[in-house]
Amino acid sequence: MQVSRANNLPMWKQFYQDALFELDPTRLKPKLEVALNTVKDRLFELRSDPTNRRELVELEFAKRTIEFLRNEPRT
């Protein structure tokens, strides 16, 4: 698992949080795309060896959240 040196979070979680806390609408969509791709990559890795059930659940939740935010109309 890739872990960020700055805060010891998995890379997918760092990108996910970065997207969730983005306030600038012009920067949100690209960050959501990066987060979604990173989450999908990690899900692919875990499905071949699903030893960490908790991370798998977190990843599925993150994926659904990102997909919801991508489809949510902006005002």
Mind spelling out the 3-state secondary structure of the chain? CCECCCCCCEHHHHHHHHHHCCCCHHHHHHHHHHHHHHHHHHHHHHHHCCCCHHHHHHHHHHHHHHHHHHHCCCC
> pLDDT 10s digit of each residue in the chain, 75 long?
555 555 789 999 999 999 999 999 999 999 999 999 999 999 999 887 767 889 999 999 999 999 999 987 765
C-alpha span between 63 and 75 (Å, rounded): 23
C-alpha span between 58 and 28 (Å, rounded): 21
